[in-house]
Amino acid sequence: MDKMDKVVSLCKRKGFIFQSSGIYGGINGCWDFGPLGVELKWNLKKDWWYTFVQLREDMVGLDASIITHPQVWVASGHVENFHDMLVDCKSCKKRFRADQLETETCPDCGGEFTEPRAFNSMLRTRLGVSDDTAVETYLRPETCQSIFVDFKEVYSSVRVKLPFGIAQIGKSFRNEVNPRNFIFRSREFEQMEIEYFCREEEEEAVFASWQEAIWQWYLSIGLKEQHMRWYEHPKESLAHYSKRTVDVEYEFPFGWGELQGLANRGTFDLTQHSKHSGKDLRFFDPEKNERLIPTVIEPSAGVDRTILALLCEAYDEEEVEGETRVVMRFAPRMAPIKAGVFPLVKKGGLAEVAREFEQKLRRRFKTVYDDSGAIGRRYRRQDEIGTPYCVCVDFETLENQTVTIRDRDTMEQVRLPMDEVADYIGKRVSIERD
């Protein structure tokens, strides 16, 4: 099995991620996050929000609706430009993206292709109950457009100064022709986007500072520098709104893939929405007594792709005492469960003490109690889901109220008084920085 297959299999087996609608045969390009996956996802989103919104005075948040007025997508250029060029195989009827084909004929059956045709990737939906009044609109293909549409509402309610940014995390939808590579390219996914508004003369410095901030954040959540690189888009392949785009790419087991795009969108979006809505979306700078359409620098990250990178980075196997130990080496603050609490054996009152202790710890961070099977097996179960610490209640606990704490990566144990454990683990798994 190659590494990707191992990661996918662990995700299913342990309840991180599985196919959506599995009992009906699944639905292509849609995935469900199970009990551990949802914890991992929350940890990631909380950390991103903490880093880029809570810690910064120049950032505010937004949570806008997924469904918007259809004009939003006319103004944004998506109705006209958000296309993939597709070809169909004349023999087996399979459809392919023309830009992803490496062969002149169908890679599946060798058949001839049709001429390329444009296919809009937005998902359509109808809003309203009666056929004659229902409005046709789209599920958003990117979260950022509502940041532009709501720009004036936001900036006039929080009294910000340039430069400042608006952040949003939420679902986006794209009718991808070939969803593939597990959750890397799906039809429903989540984005974490920032639109950062500045003066045109600051654009290069702002762009550079976001490049640095993004890079450092990926390192801080546990991605290794040697698995990341920048990719600068050549001018001719830029999206319709972009003056410059660089991507952070990650080396997945299937090759390098985009994790996040950093784009200079210039004044494109606010100008378009001003024109199409007839509303003045200029920013008023009271200090300079000036109205202007600010330039926008946009860091746009995918939640699901970051999760996939975290899973691939974390997956490790090693030989321990003649057995293969599978261990997910998540950064502790990303790990779905922070501590496993076990009695060494169930009898002698150990189970009761361990249970009670676990109940206390769970108020601080996510824990799990486990008393089934040999202690070694219990450690392995937690290693496999990436739990950074395991606390063991043994007979010495009854004598002096101390427990052992085992580190997932080194497998070494320290003995600590029970009343110091919450702080010991708490400060190692918290997203907070000093």
Question: Where do contacts with ligand GAP occur on this chain (CB under 6 A)?
Answer: 142, 144, 174, 176, 185-186, 189, 191, 193, 258-261, 300-302, 304-305
Closest distance to ligand GAP from the beta carbon of 141 (Å): 7
d(CA 223, CA 229): 11
Residue sitting closest to ligand GAP (CB) = 302
Closest distance to ligand GAP from the beta carbon of 372 (Å): 37
- Please identify, using beta-carbon distances, which residue of 149 and 405 lies nearer to ligand GAP: 149
Q: Quote the DSSP letter at residue 111.
A: P
Do the strands 315-320 and 295-302 form a parallel or antiparallel pair, or are they unpaired? unpaired
Q: Can you list the pairs that 91-96 forms with residues at least 24 positions away whose Cβ atoms lie under 8 Å? A: 95/177, 96/177, 96/178
Closest CA to 305 of 207, 428, 221: 221
Closest distance to ligand GAP from the beta carbon of 398 (Å): 51
Closest distance to ligand GAP from the beta carbon of 263 (Å): 6
- Please identify, using beta-carbon distances, which residue of 260 and 367 lies nearer to ligand GAP: 260
- Please identify, using beta-carbon distances, which residue of 174 and 408 lies nearer to ligand GAP: 174
- Please identify, using beta-carbon distances, which residue of 294 and 343 lies nearer to ligand GAP: 294
- Please identify, using beta-carbon distances, which residue of 88 and 195 lies nearer to ligand GAP: 195
- Please identify, using beta-carbon distances, which residue of 297 and 339 lies nearer to ligand GAP: 297
Closest distance to ligand GAP from the beta carbon of 301 (Å): 6
Tell me how long the chain is.
434
Decide: helix, strand or coil at residue 212.
helix
As a three-state string, the secondary structure of 140-167 is CCCCHHHHHHCHHHHHHHHCCCCCEEEE
Do the beta carbons of residue 243 and residue 266 sit within 8 Å?
yes
Closest distance to ligand GAP from the beta carbon of 148 (Å): 10
d(CA 181, CA 8): 10
Decide: helix, strand or coil at residue 381.
helix
Closest distance to ligand GAP from the beta carbon of 251 (Å): 15
Closest CA to 402 of 347, 348, 353: 353
Do the beta carbons of residue 50 and residue 56 sit within 8 Å?
no
d(CA 303, CA 297): 19
Q: What is the DSSP string of 346-379?
A: STTTHHHHHHHHHHHHTTTS-EEE--SS-HHHHH
Closest distance to ligand GAP from the beta carbon of 281 (Å): 18
Do the beta carbons of residue 66 and residue 170 sit within 8 Å?
yes
- Please identify, using beta-carbon distances, which residue of 259 and 344 lies nearer to ligand GAP: 259
Closest distance to ligand GAP from the beta carbon of 147 (Å): 9
φ, ψ of residue 260 to 5 degrees: the values are -155, 140
- Please identify, using beta-carbon distances, which residue of 142 and 313 lies nearer to ligand GAP: 142
- Please identify, using beta-carbon distances, which residue of 39 and 304 lies nearer to ligand GAP: 304
